[in-house]
A and B are shown apart, each in its own frame.
Chain A
Amino acid sequence: MAIGHLQRFRLARWVRRAQRGDAKAFSALFSALHPVVYGYLAARVRIRADAEDLTADTLHRFVDRIGRYDASKGGVRGWVLTIARNALIDHVRKAGRQDIAPLGDVEHVLGDQRFAPDEGDIDPRLQQVRDALAEHPPTTREMFALRYGEGLTVAEIAAVLDMSESAAKQRFSRALRAIKQRLEKTTHEEEAAHAHS
């Protein structure tokens, strides 16, 4: 029995108990979900107070809807991060100083601010990975941020991005293969250049 599986199962049980007003179960649920939600948002907004406000907004919405949670339709983490993602999109659009910010701005934030290409000095090896990832569409970059930043499973990522699990798997493995090939090619080119010089 994988720990991850048991943990997902445990979250669903805490939700069921919280639906019946069990404060102890809710506290356990809160302890498990708060770091996930806050971590997701703090990685994507630069101001800490904004991350805190968005976390509060997300978890209030979560509690307001807790009676509607249906475990057969997906896991709790995927569900709460879907709410967090919607809250973040609202926030970015409102902060755009126009009625609606351009979609590209939203996609950039969803793909993770930590992945911003204009950041300062960076390890060249990591820069290569960034460059390889930057060649992929925003949804793929967001998938990678959710997988490697938040540690979500592919099934959870599919739920957050509202796509089928098989489509997410296919897209993910194809992108991973392409990034790997791109990095291998870069390495070969560097080695060849080094040999000539």
Chain B
Amino acid sequence: MRIRDRLAELYPAPPPADPEVRDALERALLEKLPPRRPSAWRKRTLIGGLAGLAFAGACAIPTDYSMDFGHRLAFSVDDGAFDPRALSEHIRTRFDGLDELRISASKSIVQGDDGSDEQMQFDVVLDVVGSSDPDAIEFSILEHFDALAPTDIDVDALDETVHGTLGGMLSHRTLGWVVDGDSAEQARARILADFAAKGLPPPTRVEVQIEDREGPGRHEREIRVEVEAGGDAPPG
């Protein structure tokens, strides 16, 4: 047996913590967190990023809901030779499953701290739409730029409150469920559960259809959701 294995045996793990005590502590600590303030980079919504969804016949109950799209990563680099296309390629080659990757970069001339040297600076905003691991993407950006430190990159969830209708909420949610791998039947069951959770009468009809179409070099998926509200809910 190696010396390191023998040393590790000297320190057996203690029994795990009591989950109730642990959960109570987490709740107490959450109350002490500073009030939420948005990142300076979160300036615009990305509601227009959704595509491929058809929705009909939903009820029109006004509903506010939060939507997750992916993540926004923002940072500044002072590399005059910065090439957004090279960064995009760098990320795309490392990550499958990105629905969309958008890079916007604005260029400016800034003075050095001592007021003498002028240098080029790029403010870069990277929107990653779809299921992705933001930590791994952030890490990949750091690989691409030697000069960047983790503290230089700001990461935010792309989630926004939508002031819409129950139908809109269901359509967006259904899109997310299907993107995450739900079958039509699983999505349908979730819609019914959503109605029940909101205390609404069950809808008289829920249909979810997922249609995949292959074309040259592209794959399209259409998701159609039809819901007819039941009971006293206003018809869609």
Chain A 46-67 interface mask (CB, 8 Å, partner B; 1/0): 0010011001100110011001
Q: In the complex, what distance in Å separates the CA atom of A20 from the CA atom of B34?
A: 7
Q: In the complex, what distance in Å separates the CA atom of A137 from the CA atom of B8?
A: 19
Chain A 123-141 interface mask (CB, 8 Å, partner B; 1/0): 1011001100100000000
Q: In the complex, what distance in Å separates the CA atom of A126 from the CA atom of B35?
A: 51
Task: Please determine whether B17 and A55 come into contact, CB atoms closer than 8 angstroms.
Answer: yes
Q: In the complex, what distance in Å separates the CA atom of A101 from the CA atom of B32?
A: 33
Choose from A20, A35, A56 the contact partner of B16 (Cβ within 8 Å): A35
Q: Which of A11-19, A83-91, A157-165 contacts B (4 or more CB under 8 A)?
A: A11-19
In the complex, A156 has a CB within 8 A of chain B = no
In the complex, B219 has a CB within 8 A of chain A = no
Task: Please determine whether A129 and B17 come into contact, CB atoms closer than 8 angstroms.
Answer: no
In the complex, B197 has a CB within 8 A of chain A = no
Number of A-B contacts (CB under 8 A): 122
Question: A9-B135, A18-B33, A60-B32 in contact; A114/B25 too (CB < 8 A)?
Answer: no
For residue B136, which residues in chain A have a CB less than 8 angstroms away from its CB? 6
Task: Please determine whether A56 and B26 come into contact, CB atoms closer than 8 angstroms.
Answer: no
Q: What is the chain A residue whose CB lies nearest that of B6?
A: A129
**Distance from A85 Cβ to chain B, minimum over Cβ atoms (Å):** 16
Task: Please determine whether B37 and A20 come into contact, CB atoms closer than 8 angstroms.
Answer: yes
Q: In the complex, what distance in Å separates the CA atom of A17 from the CA atom of B38?
A: 10
Choose from B4, B10, B143, B150 the contact partner of A115 (Cβ within 8 Å): B10
In the complex, A34 has a CB within 8 A of chain B = yes
Task: Please determine whether B3 and A21 come into contact, CB atoms closer than 8 angstroms.
Answer: no
Task: Please determine whether A52 and B10 come into contact, CB atoms closer than 8 angstroms.
Answer: no
Choose from A18, A23, A56 the contact partner of B25 (Cβ within 8 Å): A56
Q: In the complex, what distance in Å separates the CA atom of A88 from the CA atom of B1?
A: 33
Task: Please determine whether B34 and A19 come into contact, CB atoms closer than 8 angstroms.
Answer: yes
For residue A35, which residues in chain B have a CB less than 8 angstroms away from its CB? 16-17
Task: Please determine whether B25 and A13 come into contact, CB atoms closer than 8 angstroms.
Answer: no
Interface size on B, residues (CB 8 A): 40
Interface size on A, residues (CB 8 A): 53
Question: A34-B22, A42-B15 in contact; A133/B10 too (CB < 8 A)?
Answer: yes
Residues of A in contact with B (beta carbons under 8 Å apart):
1, 6, 9-10, 12-13, 16-23, 26-27, 30, 34-35, 38-39, 42-43, 48, 51-52, 55-56, 59-60, 63-64, 67, 71-72, 112, 114-115, 123, 125-126, 129-130, 133, 144-145, 147-149, 176, 179-180, 183
Residues of B in contact with A (beta carbons under 8 Å apart):
1, 3-4, 6-18, 21-22, 25-26, 28-30, 32-39, 135-136, 138-139, 143, 149-151, 155
24 A-B pairs, CB-CB below 8 angstroms? A12-B150, A12-B151, A13-B138, A17-B155, A20-B37, A23-B33, A23-B36, A34-B22, A38-B14, A42-B15, A42-B17, A43-B11, A43-B14, A48-B18, A52-B21, A60-B29, A64-B32, A71-B151, A114-B11, A130-B10, A149-B10, A149-B11, A176-B3, A183-B6
Given A13-B138, A63-B32, A149-B11, 15 more A-B residue pairs with CB atoms under 8 Å apart are: A1-B139, A12-B150, A17-B155, A20-B38, A22-B36, A23-B33, A35-B16, A35-B17, A39-B14, A43-B11, A55-B17, A59-B29, A126-B10, A129-B10, A179-B7
